[in-house]
Amino acid sequence: QTSHVNMKCEDEIHPLTTLVELLEWNEDTHVSSMCQAILDDIPSLPPLSPSDQPKTLVCHDMKGGYNEDRLLSGCSDHTAYRFVHWSAIDSFVYFSHHFITIPPPGWTAAAHANGVDMLGTLITENDEGVTLCSEIFSSLETVEKVVMQLTNITRIHKFQGWLINIENKVAPVAIGLVIVFLQKLRKAMKGLDQRNLLIWYDSITHDGSLHWQDQLNGYNSCFYEVCDAIFLNYSWKVEYLKASKSYATLFPNLQHFGVAISREAQGKNSTQANCSCDGGSTDHKTDASGGEEYMKECIKCNALTKLSTENWHVKSYELSKFNKIFSGEEKKIYVGVDVFGRNFYGGGGFNTKEAMEVIREQGLSAAIFAPGWCYETLGCEGFTENNCTFWGLLDEFLYQHGPRTLPLYTTFSEGSGDVIYCDGVAMEKKN
């Protein structure tokens, strides 16, 4: 089906599925121009002021993504999925199982109109993911090209960061470059806007194994350390949440952890030399082929100097040997909430409130995955009622934000209907 605009295939937004597609992505395209025009036409509310309250993120996974919402001029199916509970959330991740998921502008515009941040997704998985990661993390040059393209996409499509989900094993020799990639991408995101976010999904561990932890601990903390937050896998237990909170409270911040590693590396045949600004350092491995060259990056000027090859893998679960600098930011832990209830506490569905209750008891943030369950499993006919029931059951565990300014004007529209209007004139009745 099409809208009142004569749709062409180039009037659709699509994901990027290969590294070549990402590296060849160009902002000077018809689709990019249309997306910018859509986002420029719809006013945005100012973002919410930072608060100490736990956050709520929605991760939108609907039938693989890029359904009717891929159409840049809208669609004629008024029963298509829609989300209206923007006042209950802080961030919205548009998710698919394609390599690079760029949020359709309709979603981004709706989020911004309600003061909610929009994030895209980078995902690698299965054998194809192993190949992708071997390509991306083959050299520092490739990492920097990927970071540049992701930054350009973020800027042109006007969203606020990325969920990084590497769900395949990664060669241990490449983990250093994974850390560098995250550091550089986060720095680039903050260069666009200090509020932008980089969120890591709990998947691989510090040695590159694919082993979901379902908690924050020493096996995945090296990734959490260089991102803004971590999105925990869904198969957690209550004791894992308590342990995650304790670990976050005890976890040193990035700068001091880097200095601690540098101190540990000293005396281990290190060839390090402080840069002229002496701005402190973080450590990472940059030679993904030989596996024997490690570097120290100055936090202030980004100068690189060589470090010892012996002791880069200071085990993060041995942090007790270092002086601890505590962060206490439990809200940086987004606990995965699978509404489909797959191996999940409470079973999901209308019982999702059981999981939300224990998450909030620990003061942690929540990442609600696939709330479109109401639509996919219960059908579209009773969707509005079922959706309101679902979110109503969660209401006591959400932090609602109301209008930013008064007076308030609303039509209480869900953004869909039987007739398309332009400047108040009916253009086409939908079938």
Report all structural domains of the chain as residue ranges with CATH numbers, in order of start. 10-40+60-252+323-402 (3.20.20.80), 253-322 (no CATH)
The CA–CA distances, whole Å, from 38 to 43, 51, 416 equal: 10, 30, 17
Neighbours of 248 (CB within 10 A): 21
Q: Regarding beta strands 333-338 and 229-231, do their DSSP bridges make them parallel or antiparallel, or are they unpaired? A: parallel
Ramachandran region of residue 66, left (φ > 0), alpha (ψ -120 to 50) or beta?
left
**Who contacts 413 (Cβ-Cβ below 8 Å, separation ≥6)?**
none
Residue 115: name the closest of 202, 25, 34, 50 by CA.
Answer: 50
The CA–CA distances, whole Å, from 136 to 133, 189, 190, 346 equal: 5, 19, 22, 38
pTM assigned to the model: 0.80
Per-residue pLDDT tens listing for the chain (431 residues): 223 333 344 688 899 999 999 999 998 887 888 888 778 877 777 766 667 789 999 999 988 888 888 877 777 777 788 899 999 999 999 999 999 999 999 899 899 988 999 999 999 999 999 999 999 999 999 999 999 999 999 999 999 999 999 999 999 999 999 999 999 999 999 999 999 999 999 999 999 999 999 999 999 999 999 999 999 999 999 999 999 999 998 765 443 444 444 333 333 333 333 444 444 444 444 444 434 343 444 444 444 444 333 333 333 333 333 333 334 589 999 999 999 999 999 999 999 999 999 999 999 999 999 999 999 999 988 999 999 999 999 999 999 887 777 888 887 877 777 777 778 888 766 54
Ramachandran region of residue 161, left (φ > 0), alpha (ψ -120 to 50) or beta?
left
The Cα–Cα gap between 220 and 201 comes to: 10
pLDDT at residue number 405 = 77
Tokens in use for 50?
């930072």
pLDDT at residue number 49 = 64
Contact 89, 57 (CB under 8 A): yes
pLDDT digits (tens, 9 = 90+) for 118-152: 999 999 999 999 999 999 999 999 999 999 999 99
pLDDT at residue number 428 = 66
pLDDT digits (tens, 9 = 90+) for 174-186: 999 999 999 999 9
Burial class (CB in 10 A: 0-12, 13-18, 19+), 190: middle
């509970």: which residue's tokens? 85
Number of residues that this document lists for the chain: 431
Q: In the beta sheet, which residues pair with residue 333?
A: 230
